[in-house]
Amino acid sequence: MCEPHHSITQFPPDDQGGEITESRLQWGLRGIYDWIKKIGRFFHISKLGSGHSESLEWANTKHLILPRETRYECNWWDRTVHLDGYFKGEEVYREEALECAEGYSRRVSIGDLGQLRRFLEVSMRKSQRAVSYIQTFIDMLVVRPAKDAIVRGLDRIINCSIGRSSFRCVEHRVSARLDSVIKYLMGLTRRREVLHPAWADDASLWIS
């Protein structure tokens, strides 16, 4: 699935055969090991604006060195995390591993509204598929009563109908006005009444 989800790659505490994950990551991810975040006993990495494969390619990894990874997708619009594919660790760790992946997501994309804004802005600027984030923002993050007015506002910014024009046309228009599009969408994340209940109903996110 990957973009526009927050794609997370997770490595276990110990690889099969009892080899220590941390030392293998230090060797296999030389140069960017500092990007690894350890939550609980598990190690996590992601690259905003890309999927799982791109994040590992970006990491300039030595794939034969790295332990087997488990992949997760975070739905930033409803703040849920789920497996993407199969769990590659020992079954006894499955629940713990998911909890750690959720903890990582809370630190990067869904823990508060500031993280959500940073995740979306960085992702849209770095992605080759910025329109996919915008479409998901409208389809999934925004509640139905607010959608039409928000789409009209976006159409005015890009001077094109995001819902009716060809994808290529919309992509070109968004690229040309990306700063304005991002400013518009980030402004919407400050309007509690237009957001998915996962965000709007969490009172802790709206303490001034």
Question: Same domain, yes or no, for 102 and 13?
Answer: yes
Question: Same domain, yes or no, for 151 and 103?
Answer: no
pLDDT of residue 90: 84
Question: Same domain, yes or no, for 180 and 91?
Answer: no
**Residue bearing the bigger pLDDT, 191 or 59:** 191
Number of domains the chain is built from: 2
Examine residue 136 and state whether it is found in any structural domain, yes or no. Answer: yes
Write the CA distances from 79 to 5, 140, 204, integer angstroms. Answer: 11, 11, 14
Question: Has residue 31 got a pLDDT over 80?
Answer: no
**SS3 category, 67:** coil
Domain final position from 87, 108, 129: 108
Q: List the domain range (segments joined by +) for residue 69.
A: 6-108
Q: How confident is the model at residue 89 (pLDDT cuts 50, 70, 90)?
A: confident
Q: How confident is the model at residue 153 (pLDDT cuts 50, 70, 90)?
A: very high
Question: Same domain, yes or no, for 129 and 72?
Answer: no
Examine residue 1 and state whether it is found in any structural domain, yes or no. Answer: no
Domain final position from 63, 93, 108: 108
Mode of pairing for the β-strands spanning 42-45 and 37-39: antiparallel
Average pLDDT, stretch 119-130?
Answer: 92
Domain final position from 76, 108, 140: 108
pLDDT of residue 52: 54
What tens digit of pLDDT does each residue of 159-201 get?
Answer: 887 766 555 668 888 889 999 999 999 999 999 999 999 999 9
Question: Same domain, yes or no, for 187 and 150?
Answer: yes
Question: Same domain, yes or no, for 16 and 70?
Answer: yes
pTM: 0.88
